[in-house]
Amino acid sequence: MTNTGNFNTGYRNTGNYNTGDHNNGDRNTGNLNTGDYNTGYFNTGNCNTGYRNTGDHNTGGSNTGNRNTGNRNVGNYNTGDYNTGDYNTGDYHVGCFNTNNAEKVYYFNTLMDRSEWDAAEKPLWIYRVRPTEWVNSDEMTDTEKTTYPAHKTTGGYLREKDPKQAWAEAFDGAALVEIELTKALPAFDAEVFLKITGIDLRDEPETAPLEANEICINGVVYVRKEKGEKK
Whether 217 maps to a domain, the answer reads no
The mean pLDDT value for 21-25 works out to: 79
Whether 40 maps to a domain, the answer reads no
Give Dmax (Cα) for the chain: 99
pLDDT-derived band of residue 214, with 50, 70 and 90 as boundaries? low
Whether 75 maps to a domain, the answer reads no
Whether 54 maps to a domain, the answer reads no
From 61-65, 119-123, 165-169, 197-201, the region with the lowest mean pLDDT: 61-65
> Mean of the per-residue pLDDT values for the chain?
81
Per residue in 84-111, pLDDT tens? Answer: 877 777 777 777 788 888 888 888 889 9
Whether 180 maps to a domain, the answer reads yes
Q: What is the pTM of this model?
A: 0.65
| Three-state SS sequence of the chain | CCCECCCCECCCCECCCCECCCCECCCCEEECCECCCCEEECCECCCCEEECCECCCCEEECCECCCCEEECCEEECCECCCCEEECCECCCCEEECCCCCCCEEEECCEEEEHHHHHHCCCCHHHHHCCCEEEEEHHHCCHHHHHHCCCHHHHCEEEEECCHHHHHHHHHCCCCHHHHHHHHCCCCCCHHHHHHHHCCCCCCCCCCCCCCCCEEEECCEEEECCCCCCCC
Residues β-bridged to residue 214: 223
Structural domain containing residue 120 = 103-205
pLDDT-derived band of residue 16, with 50, 70 and 90 as boundaries? confident
Look at residue 56 and tell me whether its pLDDT is greater than 70. yes
Look at residue 6 and tell me whether its pLDDT is greater than 80. yes
Whether 152 maps to a domain, the answer reads yes
Whether 128 maps to a domain, the answer reads yes
Q: What is the pLDDT of residue 187?
A: 95
Whether 190 maps to a domain, the answer reads yes
Look at residue 228 and tell me whether its pLDDT is greater than 60. no
pLDDT-derived band of residue 218, with 50, 70 and 90 as boundaries? low
Look at residue 8 and tell me whether its pLDDT is greater than 90. no
Rounded percentage of the chain residues whose pLDDT exceeds 70: 88
Counting the structural domains of the chain, the total is: 1
The mean pLDDT value for 177-199 works out to: 94
The mean pLDDT value for 135-164 works out to: 85
